[in-house]
Amino acid sequence: MKWKKKEKKQVEGGLDLSWKRYLLPPVHEQGVLFAAIALLVTIVVLYWSRGLNFFGLICLALTLAIYYFFRNPARIVPQGKGIIVAPADGIVSNIVTRIPPREMQLGSTPLTRISIFMSVFNVHINRAPIGGTIKHMHYTPGKFLNIADKDNEDNERNEYTLETPEGVQIGFIQIAGLIARRIVPFVKEGSVLKTGERFGLIRFGSRVDVYLPKDVVPQVIVGQTMVAGETIIARLGTQPTQSNGESI
């Protein structure tokens, strides 16, 4: 009897809906070294203890936590002109009107700022809120204070100004928090990004702010859960969103 080879389920758009997507998500290259070191320590502890014990369980849990922290899932990005998506996973912690930092070169007019707070349990890969070219980048060293919902200008941060092909400028900022100790950008000035494309990460919990262009109204509220690259937070115009998406 010949056994028929089990056919792989084809999913529209190439999106993986198998159990591996949830239990073994892809990990970003930034986390490979950390996970490998943790795994090596776990193996050594298990070897010397001749079996699984309390310390072995702690090392194993730490290894899994590091792997989980650096997970890098694909996202289905909404398609359509003028769509602005969430740059980070997490919770909308604040929506206020503020003058953007002068380093962003967005002028002195107060703009709507949406703040998204990331806990240590969120995906920490950050994504471009809209497609365009990085016109300005500015790194500001600083402290590591709690910034869930506060206007704290003392924290370490990385500021970006992106210009769309239509000439509209949007600013966004990665801000290190109480636990975060490293902002890792994937881009530089002149980089061209698509909406939802990965532009950096912040290690171990922090916040990302988005400054909307003038007269653009946010479509999210405080307390709402965000999915980076997927949740629409605002629109530049009134163009309808297409129903299909692109996985990146």
- Residue 239: CB atoms within 10 A of its CB come to 11
3-state secondary structure 180-208: CCEEEECCCCCCEECCCCEEEEEECCEEE
End-to-end CA separation in angstroms for the chain? 42
- What does the alpha-carbon distance between residue 246 and residue 94 come to, in Å, rounded to a whole number? 29
C-alpha closest to that of 199 among 127, 118, 140, 123: 127
- Residue 43: CB atoms within 10 A of its CB come to 14
The one-letter code for the residue type at 89 is: D
- What does the alpha-carbon distance between residue 98 and residue 120 come to, in Å, rounded to a whole number? 27
Question: Catalytic site residues?
Answer: 206
C-alpha closest to that of 75 among 213, 228, 234: 228
Structure tokens at 72: 């890098």
The answer to whether 148 touches 117, Cβ cutoff 8 Å, is yes
3-state secondary structure 8-62: CCCCHHHCCCCHHHHHCCCECHHHHHHHHHHHHHHHHHHHHCCCCCHHHHHHHHH
